[in-house]
Amino acid sequence: MRQAPTPAGAAVRARTVPTIGVEEEFLLIDPHSRQLAPKGPEVCATLASATPHAEPEMHAAQLELVTGVCHNLDELRGQLTSGRQRFGRAAEENGCRLVAVGMPPVESPPVFTPKDRYAYVQETYRSVAHTSCVGGTHIHVGVDGLDDALHACNRMRPWLPTLLALFSNSPVHNGTDTGYASWRTIAWSRWLTTGPPPHLPDAAAYHATVEQLVHCAAGLDDGMLYWYARPSAKWPTIELRIADVSLTVDEELLLTALCRGLVHTALHHEPHPPATPPVPNEVLRASCWRAARYGLTGQLPHGITGRLVPAWQAVDALIAHIRPALLDAGDLPFVEQATGWLRTHGNGAQRLREVYQRSGGDAADVVDYAIQATKGAASCHPPLSRPPGWARRRARPRPSGGETDRQ
């Protein structure tokens, strides 16, 4: 929802800055085997109902952190930081660890949370459901209604590959380097309702599209509409679902600032109608594949021209595009600082891949690093030397996988 009216005398612009909220999907990991630990229901039961609150997921080794409605990044930082701390302690009390990665680095069998809806999803979608234990981040940005939500989704579409590249965090899966910055994106794309949102002109077109998808069993209802940007099924918000969950709170804050900036720009700082036609969905889907494959190490389509440019040039173009909105929200200094840090140290995919390569290809080291980064107890970039126990762990047999395509 939008921020409530401010007291008399406050700046008018403050009333137009949308509210924000975040949902983080974590994986629960056994600290010894580094496999998934199906302790989600137990960890949820341990946690109190305070904000942020916990919600179980279909896979028992998943856990979702849901913040309250926030008005600024400082408020959101407090909720994400305290939430990760509480969730981490609850996980440890139940013999597992909280990990913010997009896919499990070590091969693990799926275990499902007992629930009628989840059982129906498993029966209907079979192996697609079995291979969907992933960690993503969902950013909610407040809007006034469905028309505003659709307008903003339409205008944000060309920038979605840039967000995906910037916040990719799942290069290692089942013991191997997948060659992708975001393997979660590829795995999750098996769902029929996943991908860039179609360009929809109005609410009638939206409702008709959702009705037809449900009728074809592509999803059970609008809650299974997994577009990268969509009107929320439950709240008066736009929900952006394109990013892997981030290793650190600061990266989640940066993602939130950029998403809010895109929504605010679409609603208040862009001309209407747009000067260029919408990007065809097939082209946008291919661009998102490119972002998932190369992350920040390759080229991305420029959000305005559509031409391929170096990834960081696309990021700079995004920030320039939403700069007035970032100024409105007071987020510009943080965005510049946080993107500068990522430019130096790399995003989650680059840092996890560096750990994997430094360890000689041991996914256990990737898990250990991610555990520490998630709780904020380690530096946000990989160690410069191999960690203690590297030689011992390196000697263990690792799960077999496909060829490694290192970038």
Largest CA distance in the chain: 67
Task: Write down the pTM of the prediction.
Answer: 0.88
The mean predicted confidence, pLDDT, of the chain is: 87
- Under CATH, what is the fold of the domain 12-394? Creatine Kinase; Chain A, domain 2 (3.30.590)
**Is it the case that residue 406 has pLDDT exceeding 80?**
no
Buried b (16+ CB within 10 A) or exposed e, 51-61: ebbbebbbbbb
**Is it the case that residue 380 has pLDDT exceeding 50?**
no
Q: Which of 7-16, 335-344, 371-380 has the highest mean pLDDT?
A: 335-344
pLDDT tens digits, one per residue of 21-51:
999 999 999 999 999 999 999 999 999 888 8
pLDDT top residue among 2 and 322: 322
pLDDT tens digits, one per residue of 166-224:
999 999 999 999 999 999 999 999 888 899 999 999 999 999 999 998 888 777 777 77
**Is it the case that residue 404 has pLDDT exceeding 50?**
no
